[in-house]
Amino acid sequence: MTALDGVVRELAEVALELDRLPSEDSRRPNLEERRRELKDEAARLSGGTLVAELRRELATLEAQREQLEGRHVDMSGGGFLGGDAGFSSDAQRLNRRIDEAAGREALEARITELHSRLERLKARNAGE
């Protein structure tokens, strides 16, 4: 059995255990982290393109974030008359609704997760 076979076997075992556990089980976070580690290791052992794939996804999501920013109401103008005090709060409220409708919170969370995974992979590869 190769090292990759062992990683794939353990990955399958972790996946089965996760499927069996209730969502509130305290062991889930550790198992989910182990599953991520095993996936990364399997990609590395198989000569996969994990880092390239993560970077591609990250670039796509960051471009989506920029497009979302472009949809925001520009608050620097101060309204059509240049002094509307309510304009700023209205613009903020509209921008929040735009973000909510576009799933901004999930987008930012995934971007953060991708940055974290890439850093972990970089550190792991540097230690080899």
Q: Pick from 28, 48, 68: which residue ends a domain?
A: 48
- Whether residues 76 and 34 share a domain: the answer is no
* CA pair distance 72, 75, nearest whole angstrom: 9
pLDDT in the model for residue 1: 67
- Whether residues 43 and 53 share a domain: the answer is no
- Whether residues 70 and 128 share a domain: the answer is yes
Domain span including residue 34:
1-48
Considering the chain, what percentage of its residues have pLDDT values greater than 70? Answer: 85
Structural contact between residues 116 and 40, judged by C-beta atoms closer than 8 angstroms:
no
How do residues 36-78 score in pLDDT, each as one tens digit?
Answer: 999 888 877 765 567 778 899 999 999 999 999 999 988 776 5
Q: What is the mean pLDDT of the chain?
A: 85
pLDDT in the model for residue 43: 76
Angle between helices 28-45 and 3-20 (to 10 degrees): 150
- Whether residues 2 and 55 share a domain: the answer is no
- Whether residues 41 and 57 share a domain: the answer is no
Confidence of residue 88 (pLDDT cuts 50, 70, 90): confident
Query: Is pLDDT at 127 greater than 70 in this prediction?
Result: no
How many domains does one find in the chain? 2
- Whether residues 115 and 93 share a domain: the answer is yes
Query: Is pLDDT at 94 greater than 80 in this prediction?
Result: yes
pLDDT in the model for residue 103: 94
Confidence of residue 114 (pLDDT cuts 50, 70, 90): very high
pTM over 0.75, yes/no: no
- Whether residues 36 and 54 share a domain: the answer is no
- Whether residues 69 and 83 share a domain: the answer is yes
What are the percentages of helix, strand and coil residues in the chain, rounded to 5?
Answer: 75, 0, 25
